[in-house]
Structures are given as C-alpha cells and as structure tokens.
Structure 1
C-alpha cells in the first residue's frame, strides 16, 4: 500500500456517514463498531444517528456535522475502549431516515364481504399506496429491525402486511356497520371515510415501533367485473319487482301470462307458450336470496 492509499483509507475511516448507495434505506448500520477518536460524523437533514452499546441506546443525534470527541460530546466517554488507550470508541451507529417515505404500494384480496343491499357475499380486492414516517428511531431499531441488521429491506414489507391486515378488517366492518352498498364502495363514494378510518386504525399497530402512517393514496376497492354486473342486474331486478308490488304480485302476473301463453299454444296445436319468462328464471340461489332480502 502506497502512502496515498494509506492516507485515503485513513480519511475514509475518519468519516462516519451514510453512503449514497444506502440513501433509500429506512435504516442503515455503519459496518464497523470501532470508531477512531475525532472521527467526523455527518447526519443529513432527513435522518438521525443512533448510538448503541451492548444493545442499549446511548444517544440519538439530529442533523449536523460532529467531531466525535468526548470533550465536546460527554456521552462518548461511556463508549471509549480502554484497551486502545482511549483512542477508539466501541459503538454501533445506525442512521434512520426521518423524512416521509411515500409511494409504498400494497394490495391483495380482502376476502368475501357481504353486500348489505342484497345480502350476497362478494370477493373483494383492494390496492393503493401509503406513506410513513419514523418518529422514534430507537424504537424502530430495537423493536423491529434488530441490532444485527445492516440494512432494512424488511421494514417496507412488514409495513405492507400491517396496512393490508387493517384494511381487510376495517373495510368489512365499515361496509356492514354503515350498510354501504358494495357498488357504491367500489365506485369510490366512501373512499375518504375508509382512508381516514384505516389510517387511524393503523396507529395502534405501528406506533410502538416508532412509525406513523401519514396517508393513503390511489386507494381503490374493487370486485370482479362479473360480480359487479351481477349486482347491478340484481339491483335492477329488485327495483322492478318493487314497482309491480313485490315477488308475490310478480309471480301471479307471470303465472297468468304463462297460462295465457299455454292456452294460445294449445289453440294453435302446439305446446306451452314462451311468454312466461321470469326475472327470477335462471337466477342462482344467492341471487334469489338477494332479491328476497332487498324486497323485505
């Protein structure tokens, strides 16, 4: 190693900062726990540095540039390695992003949600984006990331799981509690109400890890196109039946029409007529129950 190589290596050791390649990480751990006295620590405007020793938080430091010397940072005296003559600190330094992490995509099935208007259970999906912020870096490290990790690839995955879990629970509850027709929900009529409720509900799941869900975006609840078409047809059929006095009245009307058709067919020497079709003919069991419920 030449003199310049040694000098460059020494300068690198004296600078403690998150590298550009790790800027996207929520948490990044400085790889070397031995830090020379008077090293320069740089904490960017959108992060905090957290010092640990023996698994315990020693100090958190906000944005700025610091000379790591126990004479101007007294907490460092607890980190001095006596075996090196007091020239080295032994500590684990984590850099935690505190800016809003936006555009985290999530999505998946909610499961079967009963449409309050018809009583028919329908497979429902959800997708969207969310943003989050870390407000307590030490809690995130000790509670979720772990001391042994140098990167935080699992943080966003864990957050997605939590968001989807709460969304599943809250949407089903809100639809039933408020009797929102699923077609209105999937059209976006209640998106703001759902978003507010989900964000509030997520607080209880993530706050203990020092994380806050800031907002949801591009949030959409959806059902299969065929299920949507079936519900629309069901709503239309139910509305028509109401205009003719309900199922009983319509069945009497249809039966009379069928008898007239049969009589005409017999007079012509044929079988029964084809005029006795019914709105309920060919309807599935679930649709039949749905019509009955909608007309109660």
Structure 2
C-alpha cells in the first residue's frame, strides 16, 4: 500500500462507470473499499448501481447523480446504525450493472433432438438461432448469478442459457405437432411461443428475455433425400403409386450396370426400352388391366380375353403378314398359301394380356419380361 494510494484514498470519490467492454457487471475500485461521506455517484442511462455492505445489498440506484449521505441511503444507514452523522468513511462495494439489451447471443442444439412425425415417424432434428436479454432486477441477478465477481460477461452464462433454451424448444416442438416438412413456415410462430415459454426462467434470475429467433431447424440427411425423391416424383407427373416409381428406378439401375459383351449391351438396351415404355404408360394413365370381356358385335356372347399361352388372336383388321413373304394371312390359315411358311404361334403378356410381337423379349405394352 503506497503513500500515493493512501493520499488519493482520502479525497472524495467520484464513482462512475464508462462502459468500454462487453461486461454486464463492473465493480468500481475504491481504495480500501472506504467510501467517504459526500461521495458523488453518477449512474448513466442503461445502468444500475448496487451498494453492497459487508456482504449485504444495501441500496440499488437507477440512472441519475447522487451525493452519498444518510438522506439517499436509508437502508445502509439502518444497517450500520451510524451515530456520527455519516461523517466517517464506511466500507462498501459498488457494482455497476448494464441494463441495456445484450443482443446477438447464439443458441443451438449440440445433439439431435428426437421428435415424432406423423409422416416420417421418429426423426432427429437440429436447430439454432439467437436471442437477446437484459437485466431487469439487478439485486436478484446479483444474488442468483454473478455474486461477488469483479466483472461478468455474457459468455459466463451462455452455457446455462443454452441448456435452458434447448430444453424449452425441444418440448415446444414435441407439443406443436407440426409436420417436419412444414416447420420452416412456422418459424415466427414458434419463436414467439418459445420466447413466452422461456420468459419465466429468465425472470427467476432477474433477467428479461427481450428477443428470441429460430433461424433454422434442419432434418437428417436421410429424411432430406426422401423429401427430394418425393419432390422429383411430383415434378415428373401424377405418379400415384410409389412402388411403380421404385420399379422404374430399379430397371434404370439394372440397365446402367455394365454387362459382359453383346449380351450385356442387349440386356441393357431392352431394359432401357422397357423402362421408357413403362414410365410413358404411367404418365399417360395407361398400363391398366384390360376389361374382362368385350361385348359381341351383333348381340352374341362376349368375347373373352385370350388365355396365357393360348392360340393367337387376330390383329385389328383380321389379317397379319406372313413372316416369310409378307402375304396377308387369314384367321384360318396355318401356313402361308404363297410360300408355305408356317404361321408362328402367338404369345400373350402374363401381366397385362396384350398380344406379344413375335420374337420380342419384353411386352410392348407394360415392359414385362416374356
């Protein structure tokens, strides 16, 4: 303790805090913690001053200029029971508290939050955003949080706030019942509800939550891929059966696999053609099963569909070309009357019942392998 410090401590103090840091709390340095009678206290807007005497909060001052005396410090006077008109110096600590908004504080989920979705079942989501707060009750904030620290900044309570916020937001998401696909359209509503839900927790430590924002709630990569696939189906057309889309995808993947030699190339070409036909039918509404029977032209019995592997039915027009010379064959011809070539036996698709083109490996109507 130097002589200069001792002499300086004998002057009347001017107690003030010019904020040049990001601290929320600042303890004013007073020589030997002895504050003189008549000391000048200046509290600026956005500040509060707390007088602590022997571990007890004596007074809290708002913005303004004060001369410390028994008139404006009745609580401290009652605590000490001064008998000498407050002329002697008294021991006290002076804490300044920043009461302005502390903004741009970040929060985020360290681990995924489990929630149940009606469409996707149990999914894991992550969220992040920012919040702002300010000190509303300086005395409560001192008792509950910063105690006797010389200074205190937001980073020292960020972990406490983060745990409290993540817990509240997780509970809110579970109670909201909003589908995960629609969460992005409810950020404003969820932010307001989360702020109201968390406000009592902040008030319990002398703070006020002045702003809360949910910037993003992200989904797992698997769920995002599923959403992308469903979106591609909707863009492609009215594919109301997801299994058909999956079948087409499987055919595409099989056709893209490299095959050995000419056989592999032929199989890939056939699969690619079948895939194109199948997707074309699904988009145009084709590929449906044919009717069970067609009415007869002149009141006769209905004409049944040809059985699988049965005799060939005549194509439209009643004739078909000979495979040898191209001569038109009648329904009763078993051999070509021009060249004698046997008439080939007709095949039918086991899936849709359509007549198959002679020599074809896939059905030209639905793409089923023959």
Deviation at 1:53, TM superposition (A): 2.8
TM-score, structure 1 as length reference:
0.69
1:197 equivalent to 2:198? Answer: no
Judge conservation of contact 1:107–1:128 (CA < 8 Å) in 2. Answer: yes
Work out which of the two has the higher radius of gyration on C-alpha atoms and give 1 or 2: 2
Q: 1:105-124 maps to which residues of 2 (within 5 A)?
A: 105-108=106-109, 109-116=111-118, 118-124=119-125
**Structure 2: runs of 5+ lacking an equivalent:** 248-281, 290-348
Q: 1:155-174 maps to which residues of 2 (within 5 A)?
A: 155-174=157-176
CA RMSD, 1 decimal: 4.3
Q: Which residue of structure 1 aligns with residue 103 of structure 2?
A: 102
> Aligned pair in 2 of structure 1 residues 37, 81: CA closer, same or farther (>3 Å)?
farther
Deviation at 1:229, TM superposition (A): 2.5
1:214 equivalent to 2:216? Answer: no
Q: Which residue of structure 1 aligns with residue 182 of structure 2?
A: 184
> Aligned pair in 2 of structure 1 residues 181, 237: CA closer, same or farther (>3 Å)?
farther
Q: Which residue of structure 2 aligns with residue 64 of structure 1?
A: 64
Considering Cα pairs closer than 8 Å and 6+ residues apart, tell me whether 1 or 2 has the greater RCO. Answer: 1
Deviation at 1:25, TM superposition (A): 1.5
Q: Which residue of structure 1 aligns with residue 325 of structure 2?
A: none
Give the secondary-structure state (helix, strand or coil) at the position aligned to 1:37: coil
Deviation at 1:61, TM superposition (A): 0.7
- Distance in 1, matches of 2:71 and 2:42, equals 18
1:149-176 C-alpha deviation (Å, 9 max, x unpaired):
22223234422332222112212321x2
- Distance in 2, matches of 1:276 and 1:54, equals 92
1:134 equivalent to 2:132? Answer: no
Q: Which has the higher helix share?
A: 1
**Worse-superposed segment, 189-198 or 9-18:** 9-18
Aligned length: 260
Q: 1:250-265 maps to which residues of 2 (within 5 A)?
A: 259=351
1:125 equivalent to 2:123? Answer: no
Q: Which residue of structure 2 aligns with residue 292 of structure 1?
A: none
